[in-house]
Chains A and B, each alone.
Chain A
């Protein structure tokens, strides 16, 4: 699973744009990560704030 640090996230949507399986949704001022996530880590690389991490 990808873990989101909500205190760091700037709700910009960059992660949503790169997720190949559409697992991320920017709801309003927070993001949600769905079960589809295959832990590829692309979203963690693009995040300007470094608020995403592939964890267990």
Chain B
């Protein structure tokens, strides 16, 4: 550990590791810190990711791909099935990862590009001087330290404090966070070719149940409920109930829990000497809760902007505006649109969800574009879908 770096990245999730790798490849002296003793563990994820999305960042490798699926099946509360081909089904469907290995490989790649990596190392506050973030304070295996840097990237996930320390309020309202629980299950009945989704206010209010295959005999069976809709029952209680009725004989190999931000784009993700990325910047998709790709994408952008700002000798909030502009026009536009759709559907009753499923039951999703789908929906159900017409 040195006492000064060009860039410190806090958090070695997919976002932080890609940011560190990108910046190191651009010649910066980078430190990547992770508070856990094992990168990627415990997992807080259903591990679904689109094939095309993933390939933008890394060549798929069978060491960390647990399953390849060919599509998604969505079940409405009355069991009506809608099937979508994998490339139509959004950023969460395609491969199912083994994130414990995936996250570690991404951190290793950052290290191979020249970044220094420190685990069991937790940031506890920022060094702020003259309105500029100039490094972090923290502890490494219980020992306090202070390290300076020109820029700090906050990649510290859903529990992010880095932004808050710099005066950016990233607190989530209960209606803007999904509370999730998941079992890795063996000995259950499922089709390893599909990612399955179950909708319904009784199953998962304000969220959905997922069954994502992890090979032929195991699957991630989990659900998310909207924080504001928990009403006395927690996510784990809903999950136990689902498992009791759908796969009572299954064996539980792992229990994991987590929170996913499902908010609209936040107002600021930069301050002088600071950028926030991924879940720390609340970039997960408000409809699906998928956040791996947005974390990696924003990580790459922040790594590039850090390199160019430092080479110009200007890390002021004005210089970092380039990052704000880039993520807002891409990731931000997606989140904005999805958030509107989420707000529109969040209050839907089971009857409305069934009606919706019946409307599109026979649509061929291998041929239809999203725009065409929305048009078809408006024709059949003008009241509900009229508000969507500007979004696509």
Contacts and interface: CB of A to CB of B under 8 A. Distances in A.
A binds B: yes
Interface of A: 10-20, 22, 25-28, 42, 45-50
Contact of B259 (A13, A20, A27, A50): A13
B246 interface: no
A17 B172 contact: yes
Given A48-B236, A48-B257, A14 B122 contact: no
A42 B177 CA distance: 11
The DSSP consensus for interface residues of chain A is loop
A29 to B, nearest CB: 8
Contacts of A19: 171
A12 B174 contact: no
Contacts of B227: 14, 18, 45-46
9 contacts: A10-B257, A14-B177, A14-B179, A14-B257, A14-B259, A17-B160, A48-B181, A48-B234, A49-B257
Contacts of A45: 174, 227-228, 230
Nearest to B259: A14
A52 to B, nearest CB: 10
Contacts of A25: 161
Contacts of A49: 181, 234-236, 257
Given A14-B179, A16-B159, A18-B172, A47 B42 contact: no
A14 B171 contact: no
A42 to B, nearest CB: 6
B260 to A, nearest CB: 8
B264 to A, nearest CB: 15
Contacts of B170: 17
A15 B172 CA distance: 10
A21 to B, nearest CB: 9
Contact of A48 (B36, B42, B160, B235): B235
B332 interface: no
Q: Chain A CB within 10 Å — which of B122, B171, B255 has the most?
A: B171
A45 B205 CA distance: 14
A18 B236 contact: no
Contacts of A20: 171
A18 B257 contact: no
Nearest to B182: A48
A46 B259 contact: yes
Contacts of A18: 171-174, 177, 227, 259
Contacts of A17: 158-160, 170-172, 177, 259, 261
